[in-house]
Amino acid sequence: MARRQSPAPAVDSSQDYTENIVDIDVTSEMEGSFLEYAYSVIYSRALPDARDGLKPVQRRILYMMSEMGLRPDRGHVKSARVVGEVMGKLHPHGDTAIYDALVRMAQDFSLRLPLIDGHGNFGSLDDGPAAPRYTEARLAAAALTLTDHLDEDVVDFVPNYDNQLTQPDVLPAAFPNLLVNGATGIAVGMATNMAPHNLVEVISAARHLIAHPDATLDDLMRFVPGPDLPTGGRIVGLDGIRDAYATGRGSFKTRAKVEVEQLSARRTGLVVTELPYMVGPEKVIEKIKDAVNGKKLTGISDIVDLTDRKHGLRLVIELKNGFNPNAVLQQLYRYSPMEDSFGINNVTLVDGQPQTLGLVELLSVYVGHRIDVVRRRTAFRLGRKKDRLHLVEGLLIAIVDIDEVIQIIRSSDEAAAARVRLMSIYDLSEIQANYILELRLRQLTKYSRIELEKEQDELRREIAELEAILGSEQRLRELVSDELGEIAEKYGTPRRTVLLESEAVSPTVAAALAASNGKGKAAPLALEIADDPCWAILTASGQVARTSNQEALAESGPRSKHDVFLSVVRTSARGEIAGVTSQGRMLRLQVMDMPVLPPMSGLPNLAGGVPAKDFITLLKGESLVAFAPLDEVLAIGTAQGVVKRVQPDYPLNREDWEIIALKDKDSVVGVAPAGSEDTDLVFLTRQAQLLRFGAAQVRPQGRTAGGMAGIKLSDDDQVLFFSAVKPEDDAAVVVTIAGTTGALPGTAPGTAKVTAFSEYPAKGRATAGVRAHRFLKGEDTLLLAWAGHGPAKASSLAGVARSLPQEHGRRDGSGIPLSQPVEVVGPAMAWLDQAPPDPA
């Protein structure tokens, strides 16, 4: 059915109508309207105020939550309720914009000092927050310092959008929120992007500026050296930061915090624990995978995100064997968000006008605002105290003759008459008279004269103090400074972001820089590790590692307690060596898989290896005895005195094989290269017997042979040490430490003895040898024994290595008592810093 339309009203031709058409220039109208719109966006939405560092929506959220009583000591409420209150009363814009601003103020990765205490899913760097109906919020403790004393006339209030309510034009802001939390916003024709800073540093600079109003930028930068980002990371290069502090514009590079870690015995990785500001792990993973698939990044085998709430960010980038971690890291900085740039643009509102401010100007505006806030607060409190004092003085006058006061009131016809009579009789003001008339009879009991006089004295003291503050600019500034100090002490946290003048130079990068021929720019790092000469090392505590170069063994660096070099083999980074176990097995090992000892001032750190049991698969009760080359004749000694020289005819298609057939309960105690028949083989037993004989007496055998008799042992004796020594080595020594069998390790010092190896005569194979150490009373065994090239240096346990060879001419003499117990860690000397390989 068609809708019926009403007929148009008839035009009365008897009346005159005047048309008024105004011609407007479109260009002028567009310019005016656009400028009005632009100013509205700049002033009312996008840019923060330099005084409290807040945009209008943020200020309204904090003020409304304060009015709602959402304090830190009270329960959370639904975020939707806060959004509704703000939108309905103060902010006539969409709820999405209000909620987004609330969420940002609750994110600890966005703000250095969050202002909202959120409960629920407030999002992450990779994901958005839950809907406002699911999350809850209340004010954080720090936010209370922004809204404190609003009821004391500290700032001006302005009408809201419909003139029914009022809102603060600016918050009191007890700390420099703009610098501490930063800001970001895009207006029309301009934008702002300000970095967060450390609260303690910023307040220290503000206090210095209060005490020294003419402070320079250099003075303030001693307190604020650079931004302190919520997510930590590293800032590389400080020139851009100084430019930003001077002019308000600048940029700097931020990098992730990355450590090279040994993920397993054979796998190295880059572990990321901090990322650049506003960069999430999922974005990093995505970019790295794209770069790997696009062949821009090489050397990466896998990337795993192990981030959790308990341990925080942990991004593990596993590397392929043979790739230089520092070179891969440089590639990651180039092709992934692990290095990012932050552009500072300090555009903010000052007296309603957008301005670009440097550090000095930003702090000056804040300090001026804070001084004005404290002055107004002091004046308000002074007025309140004076008003109260005026009432107390009136009560003191009336209480002297309270019965007559009551009689005057009772005899008066009305309140006005009573007021006039009180004012005339007792010389009271109208305010004092009204206050007395409004008192209830039950209140008169508490107003004793002593209490009122005490209150009067206290009020006069407080008034004098407030007047002194208002009368002295110096005292006012000191009060502001002291309050800032209290805020810093209460809410301050240590710096998270590391500031670097330039990129930290690792030894590898330093080598590349040296290869640049002094041009100041490092040469590109080799991505794959070169087949450079190095040492493969097995320590007495069972650590497996390799050095970065063969010269690094000139001296030893820091080490674990009592740890020493047990076996050292010259090889190359991409070479192969053998590992010999106590059960007579030989394993083929890739040197590339061994962790590199971290250098300390150019020296290898013995504590930087991995346990042998994690590096190779050992059988139950089996241990790794020594490293050995795969292309030399080896001499093997066992605990039961068996010796064997084995030919290097090892299988090429196997990773492990047997190199000696051991008898029941026998085990390998030592392995040494013995390709030259001029080499002497040395046995040392627990009963202090030493046998030295030429390697020519032991014919080389195949790897399945069981060896031959090496040293003749007594029934209760066994071999403690076996090795090969060059007889022409004048620096060769024999070191022994005696002790008691029943003593616990580390409890009996015993005696130590160092004797020149040449003092011991060569004997025939399968003989008992000669006495190496005469036991003193209470000693019945050797705890440690060692023979070979003399140590480079000895530890504090004994200048023994320097003095004993001269003092003990008799090879079968007793040792010198040790000054402290010796921890038994293996067949090497525990108190020697190192026993280096034969220098030849």
Which residues have a catalytic role annotated? 134
Strand ranges in 201-246 using DSSP code E only, listed in sequence order: 234-236
What tokens were used for 489? 């002490």
CA 454 – CA 563 distance, rounded (Å) = 76
What distance, in Å, lies between the first and last C-alpha atoms of the chain? 114
In this structure, which amino acid lies at residue 542? Answer: G
CA proximity to 662, closest of 692, 707, 623, 619: 707
CA 639 – CA 64 distance, rounded (Å) = 84
Residues 6+ apart with CB under 8 A from 113: 142, 175, 177, 180, 181, 199, 491
Bridge partners for 636 per DSSP? 644, 671
What burial class does residue 673 get, using C-beta atoms within 10 Å of its C-beta: 0-12 exposed, 13-18 middle, 19+ buried?
middle
- 595 Rama sector, left if φ>0, alpha if ψ -120 to 50, beta otherwise: beta
Would you give the DSSP letter of residue 46?
I
CB 65 within 8 A of CB 138: yes
What burial class does residue 153 get, using C-beta atoms within 10 Å of its C-beta: 0-12 exposed, 13-18 middle, 19+ buried?
middle
What tokens were used for 447? 């107003």
CB 317 within 8 A of CB 267: no
Run of H or E residues at 158: strand 157-159
CA 755 – CA 462 distance, rounded (Å) = 88
What tokens were used for 626? 């020594």
Provide the angle, in degrees to the nearest 10, between the axes of the packed helices 359-399 and 415-426. Answer: 90
In this structure, which amino acid lies at residue 561? Answer: K
CA proximity to 69, closest of 170, 145, 144, 174: 144
Token look-up 């807040």 returns: 54
Q: What is the largest CA-CA distance in the chain?
A: 149
CA 832 – CA 829 distance, rounded (Å) = 5
CA proximity to 188, closest of 55, 35, 349: 35
Provide the angle, in degrees to the nearest 10, between the axes of the packed helices 56-67 and 95-106. Answer: 80
Phi and psi for 159 in degrees, rounded to 5?
-65, 155
What tokens were used for 321? 């064997």
